[in-house]
């Protein structure tokens, strides 16, 4: 190596070490303010926005958009929007609920998103949700058809004045909340179950081996659940009983602290299949 190259190599190593030290100090000494009452710095905000824009655009590119002009679909989309979205995003002349005002990042006005984003991107964002914001994933609560209905309504949204929106509200009957309609459930799939349990707060109450963030002791650890003879001390541990437990713990054991989480039959089968793989005790 020539001395010139050696100097360059040491400079790169020195600069990298310095950058890592600064980043480490920011984290270790708690310099970055993560409170929702303080905005991100401009640089962090730019980084997050660009990451979001690129992530969505790459993933939504190949989505095929169906016909979004059917008035019946648009009306169904309005019902779903009113039931699930207006609380956080507001609508023409309608403010979000007080808790949504405290979110950081603040939920965007969807009038603007409908203008700026393609239908495929909006579909992807609603279906998948956005990490580290308050935006939920709707994939486990709405069918793809229902999500497209919401997208269809969102395309009409920018054309509605506050008076128009109020009229839609008055004319549409309140929807009765209904469980996600299912095709005939297929046999449980452990991989799908592992993903589904992120969507039902299991990680906030249980230690679950190999699941990142599942380290809470509100309920018993699920390590070794596959080889335990009983579920919650009351049911013999079969896949069918596990499905029943997950779908309605409070019916099976009144007074239990594990809540009914509205798990669909398919998701319960998948999660039961995943739990069947947890045979190693702690
Ligand atoms: C609990 C509050 C909450 C609910 C309920 C909610 N959202 Fe969101 N949403 C957010 C937050 C927070 C963001 C991220 C900040 C942002 O980019 O708007 C977001 C982002 C979005 C975006 C991306 C906005 C953009 O252009 O960057 C879309 C589209 C969206 N939400 C649609 C919906 C729809 C449709 C529903 C109802 C099915 C819904 N949201 C329900 C909080 C919520
Ligand atoms: C709010 C906290 C909470 C959430 C969320 C929760 N659980 Fe539980 N879970 C509990 C508690 C508490 C028990 C103990 C119940 C009892 O014995 O009465 C329990 C018991 C169980 C059991 C039986 C364990 C045993 O040792 O027999 C299983 C299996 C289980 N939960 C799986 C899940 C899965 C999977 C999810 C997500 C779909 C989930 N739980 C979500 C609190 C929770």
Q: What is the CATH number of the domain that holds 253?
A: 2.60.40.420
Strand duo 230-231 + 235-236: pairing: antiparallel
In tens, the pLDDT along 267-276 reads 999 999 999 9
In a domain, 89, yes or no: yes
CA–centroid distance, residue 62 to ligand 2 (Å): 38
CA–centroid distance, residue 202 to ligand 2 (Å): 7
Cβ atoms within 10 Å of 91's Cβ, excluding its own: 22
Residues 166 and 225 in one domain: no
In a domain, 1, yes or no: no
Closest residue by CA, ligand 2 atom 12? 219
Q: Provide the number of structural domains found in the chain.
A: 2
130 lines ligand 1 (CB under 6 A): yes
Residues 138 and 240 in one domain: no
In a domain, 176, yes or no: no
Residue range(s) defining the domain that contains residue 126: 57-171
Minimum mean pLDDT range among 161-175, 232-246, 266-280: 161-175
CA–centroid distance, residue 69 to ligand 2 (Å): 44
In a domain, 253, yes or no: yes
Whether 281 shows a pLDDT value over 90: the answer reads: no
Q: Which residues of the chain form beta strands (DSSP E)? A: 230-231, 235-236
Cα gap 205→202, rounded to integer Å:
6
In tens, the pLDDT along 22-51 reads 999 999 999 999 999 988 889 999 999 999
Residues 114 and 78 in one domain: yes
**Please, what is the Cα angle at 140 between 134 and 144, to 5 degrees?**
105
In a domain, 22, yes or no: no
Burial label for 73, CB within 10 Å (0-12, 13-18, 19+), is buried
- CB-facing half-sphere around the CA of 212: CA atoms within 13 A: 1
Ligand nearest the Cα atom of residue 149: 1
137 lines ligand 1 (CB under 6 A): no
């Amino acid at each position: 190596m020539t001395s010139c190259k050696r100097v360059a190599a040491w400079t790169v190593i020195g600069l990298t070490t310095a950058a890592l030290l600064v980043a480490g100090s920011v984290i270790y000494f708690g310099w970055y303010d993560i409170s929702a009452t303080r905005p991100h710095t401009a640089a962090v905000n730019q980084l997050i926005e660009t990451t979001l824009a690129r992530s969505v655009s790459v993933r939504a590119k190949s989505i095929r958009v169906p016909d979004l002009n059917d008035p019946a679909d648009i009306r169904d989309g309005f019902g779903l929007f009113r039931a699930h979205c207006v609380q956080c995003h507001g609508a023409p002349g309608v403010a979000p609920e007080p808790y949504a005002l405290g979110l950081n990042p603040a939920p965007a006005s969807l009038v603007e998103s409908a203008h700026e984003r393609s239908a495929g991107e909006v579909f992807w964002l609603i279906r998948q949700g956005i990490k580290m914001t308050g935006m939920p994933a709707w994939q486990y609560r709405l069918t793809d058809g229902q999500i497209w209905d919401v997208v269809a309504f969102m395309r009409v949204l920018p054309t509605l004045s506050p008076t128009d929106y109020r009229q839609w509200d008055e004319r549409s009957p309140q929807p009765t909340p209904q469980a996600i309609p299912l095709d005939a459930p297929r046999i449980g799939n452990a991989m799908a179950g592992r993903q589904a349990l992120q969507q039902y707060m299991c990680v906030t109450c249980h230690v679950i081996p190999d699941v990142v963030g599942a380290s809470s002791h509100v309920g018993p650890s699920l390590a070794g659940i596959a080889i335990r003879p009983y579920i919650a001390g009351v049911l013999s541990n079969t896949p069918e009983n596990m499905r029943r437990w997950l779908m309605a713990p409070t019916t099976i054991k009144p007074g239990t602290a594990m809540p009914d989480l509205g798990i669909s039959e398919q998701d319960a089968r998948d999660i039961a299949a995943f739990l069947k793989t947890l045979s190693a005790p702690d």
